[in-house]
């Protein structure tokens, strides 16, 4: 088992310049369990050099202790071969249709409860299909593959795919390394994602780490709004945009944008139409003046500026900070997305669906990079082009299906595009 486990992670670890012993500290419990399960199932399906097999030995020595259904499952799993499948016709909590992408065969309906709740139309998964008397199921191993990992895996297994075209009696045995190739390529994708998930530090044009800060200056009793407006309008670095709103601009000789480029991370640089950098904004709302900036340094500079400009008109400010990470999470959390307009959800859905319809209808006659920079209509005229069109449509549907529940984009029906392009019979 130790040797088998090493085979299933060695290549991915080497590619990531990671020692196998250090791998487990990088992965969470779920991913560790997936790897262990994939290696264990590989061991069950493999013969040892002396001809023994773990599943056969167990059934011979201890099988009498197990229920009939368990014995049948172990025997079927021992003969099952891992492969890459495309998911379709998902019935959450019940079943799904799997099309083998490695060995040409008819799609098979499998009974599956938990897995179908997290799978979507046209997802790609590696698993073992296990036929039982009560119905076909999948094994405990389920590796999700994205498009890039799918293409790499199929290229790796191409010799196996050519052999698989022969009748079962003539086909050579599965290469011993094939099962571990699935896990290694899946793990390599996971390790890349782990490295990409860490959000790079975001800086403003001054090169300061991004912090969303607002200083609220309450007006003193008796202060007239006209006096506040006049004081703010008189400041050269405040450019008035409306009766109660000013952009705080950098001085003409400010070299901050140059210093930002000398620091690592992403840089958020906001400018006016004439190229002048915007440092923040000042707005009068109710009985307070609010300065909004995106760094602690700018908050200090803005405080010093307004303290002098509004002396005698306002009280000391109250500071409001927004956590950037929390804000990003809340923006993408289910039920947290605010409506884009004052319309009802039904009206919004209708408008969005109409916009999507117009967008995709126009797209059918536009050059598309995934189709070799030709339009979908033109690509659909040839056999190879139709293959690319089908892959493109499946990608659109897959991404749409993964939107949060109730999202109008996720509810969009692409069926008309398949019919329009003459590939509806390939939607399987």
pLDDT in tens, 156-182: 887 554 554 444 333 333 444 589 999
Average pLDDT over residues 84-112: 91
Average pLDDT over residues 24-37: 90
**Would you say residue 342 has pLDDT above 60?**
no
The token pair that represents 151 in the structure block = 């293409």
pTM score above 0.75: no
pLDDT of residue 332: 46
**Would you say residue 341 has pLDDT above 50?**
no
- Nearest of 254, 327, 83 to residue 181 by alpha carbon: 83
89: left (phi over 0), alpha (psi -120 to 50) or beta: left
**Would you say residue 226 has pLDDT above 60?**
yes
DSSP state of 90: E
Q: Measure the CA–CA gap between 138 and 109, rounded to whole angstroms.
A: 10
Mean predicted lDDT score pLDDT of the chain: 83
Contact 126, 83 (CB under 8 A): yes
The domain ranges of the chain are 2-46+80-197, 203-331, 345-426
Could you read off the pLDDT of 43-59 as tens digits, one per residue? Answer: 999 998 888 999 999 99
């Amino acid at each position: 088992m130790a040797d088998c486990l090493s085979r299933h992670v060695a290549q991915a670890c080497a590619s990531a310049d990671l020692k196998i012993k250090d791998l487990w500290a990088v992965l969470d419990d779920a991913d560790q369990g997936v790897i262990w399960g994939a290696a264990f199932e590989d061991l069950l399906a493999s013969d040892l050099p002396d001809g023994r097999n773990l599943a056969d030995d167990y059934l011979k020595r201890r099988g009498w202790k197990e229920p009939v259904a368990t014995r049948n499952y172990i025997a079927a799993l021992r003969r099952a071969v891992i492969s890459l499948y495309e998911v379709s016709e998902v019935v959450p909590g019940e079943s799904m249709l799997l099309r083998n992408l490695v060995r040409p065969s008819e799609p098979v309906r499998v009974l599956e409860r938990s897995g179908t709740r997290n799978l979507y139309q046209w997802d790609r998964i590696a698993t073992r299909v296990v036929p039982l008397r009560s119905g076909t199921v999948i094994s405990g191993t389920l590796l999700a593959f994205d498009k890039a990992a799918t293409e790499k895996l199929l290229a790796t297994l191409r010799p196996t795919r050519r052999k698989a075209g022969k009748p079962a009696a003539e086909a050579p045995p599965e290469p011993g390394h094939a099962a571990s190739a699935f896990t290694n390529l899946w793990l390599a994708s996971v390790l890349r994602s782990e490295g990409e998930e860490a959000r790079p530090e975001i800086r403003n044009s001054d090169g300061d780490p991004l912090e969303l800060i607002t200083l609220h200056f309450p007006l003193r009793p008796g202060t007239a709004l006209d006096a506040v407006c006049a004081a703010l309008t008189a400041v050269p670095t405040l450019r008035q945009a409306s009766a109660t709103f000013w952009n705080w601009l950098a001085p003409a000789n400010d070299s901050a944008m140059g210093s930002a480029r000398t620091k690592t991370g992403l840089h958020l640089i906001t400018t006016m139409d004439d190229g002048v950098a915007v440092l923040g904004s000042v707005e009068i709302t109710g009985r307070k003046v609010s300065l909004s900036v995106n760094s602690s340094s700018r908050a200090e500079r803005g405080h010093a500026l307004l303290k002098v400009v509004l002396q005698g008109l306002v009280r000391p400010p109250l500071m409001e900070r927004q956590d950037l990470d929390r804000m990003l999470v809340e923006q993408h959390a289910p039920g947290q997305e605010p409506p884009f307009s004052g319309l009802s959800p039904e009206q919004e859905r209708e408008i969005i669906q109409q916009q999507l319809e117009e967008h995709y209808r126009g797209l059918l006659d536009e050059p598309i990079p995934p189709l070799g920079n030709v339009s979908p209509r033109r690509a659909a005229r040839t056999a190879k082009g139709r293959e690319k069109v089908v892959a493109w449509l499946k990608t659109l549907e897959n991404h749409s299906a993964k939107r949060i529940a109730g999202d109008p984009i996720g509810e969009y029906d692409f069926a008309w595009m398949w019919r329009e392009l003459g590939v509806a019979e390939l939607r399987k």
